[in-house]
Chain A
Amino acid sequence: MKMLDAQAVYVMWLRQIKRFLRSKGRLVTTIIQPLFFLLILGSGFRSIATGLGGDYLHFLAPGIITMAILFSSMFTGISVLWDKQFGFLQEVLVAPVSRISIIIGRTLGGATTALIQGFIILIIAIGLGVPISSIFGLFLTVIIMILIAFSAVGFGLVLASKMQDFQAFPLIMNLIIMPLLFLSSAFFPVSQNQTMQAIAYVNPMFYMVDGLRGALIGENNILPIYIDFIVVIAFCIFMMAIGSYFFSKSEA
């Protein structure tokens, strides 16, 4: 068996993209929801969020981009469950291709669709007047966005391999993902409260949001970008490794 089968990677990737583009509902909701957050939260809190070093909308934008990519990637990771329930996974698993090709194709497909959404939010944010710190900053922003996407696909793969159906999914969203997002400084700074700050340091999402904020806006970030960047890379590698491990062990 070839370790990496280009056709298999391509098929798995193309399939995700086609499904994504065909599902108009998903396309709309995944863009509309973060847009609402950005517009309503942004304009609502703008006037009272005066303790910040700058405009609240500028503060909020990186948080919403992170959120959009996280949710979308996690969803594609978890959609393996769909394939399991609809039997398609069996068809993929008996093909004469390596599992790693399947994982890579799936991950690339999931990350691509998530990044499409992330970029749409980014463009809208820039349109709303969110400043860009520098060209290098923008470049770094894109890199961090990609890393966030891969990490979340990995997380989704772990969930999909361990879960039997979708019943546990809302539970995980509400009990794990939402609190972590709230404590990531996506919506408000965590630095004014020592407990919150301490929790933030063990929350991988904090480094994603803080890194993205430092790279894109260049203000209100707590840690230097390179520290955020290293943590985000390490977390991404870790999530991809365990995601692939669990997926390769899963049975159709």
Chain B
Amino acid sequence: MTYISDIITTKDLTKKFDDLVAVDNISFSVKKGEVFGFLGPNGAGKTTTIKMLITILNPTGGTATISGFDIIKQRDKVRKNIGIVFQEPALDTELTGEENLEYHARMYGLNKEKRKNRIDEVLKLVDLEDKRKVIVKNYSGGMKRRLEIARGLMHYPTVLFLDEPTLGLDAQTRRAIWAYIKKMNDEEGTTIFLTTHYMDEAESLCKRVGIIDRGKILVMDTIANLKNSVGKDVITLSCTNISKLKEKLEKEKWISKIKQYDTTLTLGVEKGDEKIPQIIEIAQKQGIKIKSISVRKPTLDDVFISYTGRTIRDNEVQQNANLPPRFRGGH
């Protein structure tokens, strides 16, 4: 097999459910050893994309390859090459941690000696060596996640898929899980493809992200580049007669981006703290009263807003309000 630098490549990958287009002509590639993330609100098509890549859902259009293997025609080779941590826990809770790993390794065809060594290795990686003989139902949420990560790594996959790896975990546990994910990327060189709707998670783990919304990739770049595209600094203000101020500010060359959301204006500028007096001066000349103004460094949420006009959180509130309770939360 020739050396492949792109571990995952997709071309026009599409999934339609009846009249709903869950994933719409997605094309991207992930390089060997990279931590790549899909960032987007719930229902954006992240999980559907993962399900197609891990061969449990057939695409309705387009193609994808993993380690050079076609996800439809070479399904078994793809399966041997990937590890998966599902969004919902997928452990046998009546078995011990060690048994879960052992059974997984058998299914993936590891021989006895390899199984034994590898179980020790992966348990060490996630610090669960002392819990190996404990029945999984007695594990905490964070321990279960760690065990799943360990299991995903058991068969030396070239790429590990993590679907919302810290969903439903507390802040401290989330940071611990991030540390384990980074560690396995460093120590084992495993390529990681993860999905998340947490901006802090994407920022902490991913080098590159694709921002996905309504089945489409809006933009894909390194996190630093994405933030710079919004402006070095972001100024947010609210005032009387907002449209008039917007009109005036649009003529100023030092504002790289200007957008209005409801009752606030968001401006992308350089050296934001020096621009605030200028903005106030312009407003005062027009007799516009500024109610509040602030400057901050751009976040991924600003990037998301600049492409969609909504924040990721807005989206969730809206979506969750439309769904019956049992469907709320990540899917």
Contact = CB atoms under 8 A, between A and B. Distances in A.
Contacts of A11: 103, 106-107
Interface residue tally on A, bucketed by range: 20 to 34
B305 interface: no
Interface in A1-60: 1, 5, 7-8, 10-11, 14-15, 18-19, 22-23
Interface string B261-290: 000000000000000000000000000000
Given A86-B89, A88-B91, A94 B56 contact: yes
Given A1-B76, A11-B107, A15-B103, A94 B84 contact: yes
Nearest to A251: B56
A14 B100 CA distance: 12
B55 interface: yes
A177 interface: no
A40 B259 CA distance: 81
A54 B89 CA distance: 56
Contacts of B132: none
B79 A95 contact: yes
A88 B90 contact: yes
B161 to A, nearest CB: 10
Contacts of A10: 106
Contact of A94 (B55, B88, B99, B135): B55
B95 interface: yes
A15 B107 contact: no
| Most chain B CB inside 10 Å of its own CB: which residue of A7, A93, A96 | A96
B159 interface: no
A89 B89 CA distance: 11
Contacts of A93: 56
Contact of A95 (B86, B92, B93, B107): B107
| Most chain B CB inside 10 Å of its own CB: which residue of A83, A90, A91 | A91
A7 B107 contact: yes
Contacts of B56: 90, 93-94, 251-252
A7 B92 contact: no
Given A94-B54, A94-B56, A252-B56, A7 B95 contact: no
Given A11-B107, A86-B89, A96 B76 contact: yes
Contacts of B109: 7, 96
Contacts of B331: none
A15 B95 contact: yes
Interface residues of B, number: 25
Contacts of A87: 86, 88-91
Contacts of B108: 95-96
B115 to A, nearest CB: 10
B94 interface: yes
A8 B108 CA distance: 9
B80 interface: yes
A89 B80 CA distance: 17
A140 interface: no
A96 B82 CA distance: 10
A96 B76 CA distance: 5
Contacts, number: 69
B174 interface: no
Contacts of A251: 56
A164 to B, nearest CB: 12
B257 interface: no
Contact of B106 (A8, A18, A86): A8
B104 interface: yes
A96 B157 CA distance: 12
Contacts of A94: 54-56, 79, 84
Interface in A75-125: 83, 86-97
A18 B135 CA distance: 12
Interface in B59-118: 76, 79-80, 84, 86, 88-95, 99, 103-104, 106-109
Contacts of A89: 90
Contacts of B99: 18
Contact of B104 (A1, A14, A91): A91
Nearest to A1: B76
B106 A7 contact: yes
A11 B110 CA distance: 13
A89 B54 CA distance: 14
A14 B93 CA distance: 15
B95 A18 contact: yes
A8 B107 CA distance: 5
A16 to B, nearest CB: 10
Contacts of B95: 15, 18-19
Interface string B24-53: 000000000000000000000000000000
A85 to B, nearest CB: 9
Contacts of B84: 91, 94
Interface of A: 1, 5, 7-8, 10-11, 14-15, 18-19, 22-23, 83, 86-97, 251-252
Given A18-B99, A90-B56, 9 more contacts: A11-B103, A19-B92, A22-B94, A86-B90, A86-B92, A87-B88, A87-B89, A88-B91, A93-B56
17 contacts: A5-B107, A7-B109, A8-B106, A18-B95, A19-B92, A19-B95, A23-B94, A86-B89, A87-B89, A90-B86, A90-B88, A92-B107, A93-B56, A94-B55, A96-B79, A96-B108, A252-B56
The 5 closest A-B pairs by CB, nearest first: A87-B90, A96-B79, A95-B107, A91-B90, A87-B88
